[in-house]
């Protein structure tokens, strides 16, 4: 079973890296770019788990290991 976990900064948290990319894009001539925010994702391959158990484990992995719940939010997507 394949899944993806997307982790990004909460909307209320400043994203200096995204701001730097935005101003770089503006200076390169991409004037239409109003905002950039960066995040990361993890493609996870799971073996030998039924779907409900996989969902439970992915939720726990996202919450406890991959995201910092103080400043980040996450989204779990199961692909097949």
Which stretches of the chain bind its own copies, using CB under 8 A? Answer: 6, 8, 18, 21, 24-25, 28, 30, 32-49, 53-54, 57, 60-61, 65-66
With 0-12 CB in 10 A as exposed, 13-18 as middle and 19+ as buried, what is 73?
Answer: middle
Distance CA 78, CA 70 (A): 24
Q: What minimum distance in Å lies between the beta carbon of 12 and its own copies?
A: 15
Smaller CB distance to its own copies: residue 24 or 71? Answer: 24
Smaller CB distance to its own copies: residue 45 or 70? Answer: 45
């Amino acid at each position: 079973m394949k899944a993806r976990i997307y982790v990004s900064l909460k909307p209320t948290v400043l994203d200096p890296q995204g701001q730097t990319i935005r101003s770089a894009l503006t200076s390169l001539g991409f004037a239409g770019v109003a905002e950039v925010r960066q995040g990361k994702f993890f493609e996870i391959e799971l073996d030998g788990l039924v779907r409900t158990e996989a969902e439970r484990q992915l939720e726990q992995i996202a919450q406890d290991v991959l995201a910092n719940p103080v400043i980040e939010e996450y989204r779990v997507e199961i692909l097949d």
